[in-house]
Amino acid sequence: MLKRDSLGSATIGLLGGFFCGSIGLPGPPTALLLGSQGIEKEEFRRLIVIFLTVIEFLTFFYFIWVGMISTDMIVLSLKLLPAMVLGFVVGNSIFGRIDEASFRRMALGVIMAAGIALILAF
């Protein structure tokens, strides 16, 4: 079990930042830390959303600052926004219907799938 102390949280934050900057996936280390704590799904969700929102905004503005994001990329992202909103609505409705054990299995499954996808991509 990972400890959620200051040093452990800082280490996970550092790993999340590294993964965000290098491969664009900051969430897995944080999700694994939160998942190992036995916290309720509502708190898990709140904490991961806060973390991902902060790190993604920082990354987005950094990438704009260094010229890694073009106008075409922003236009394409805006075109994909309706699909993201639909996914959010569906996910939000499912969240209220699943129990703790199913939530944990689903979260771990998503982390594992992301890891496998990254391994296969390289």
pLDDT in tens, the chain (122 residues): 455 567 877 888 788 778 877 887 888 888 888 888 888 999 999 998 998 898 889 888 999 999 999 999 999 999 999 999 999 999 999 998 999 999 989 988 988 888 788 778 77
Where do we find the tokens 């926004």?
81
- Helix H, strand E, coil C: the string for 72-119 is HHHHHHHHHHHHHHHHHHHHHHHHCCCCHHHHHHHHHHHHHHHHHHHH
Query: Count of CB atoms within 10 A of residue 34's CB?
Result: 23
Read off the pTM: 0.74
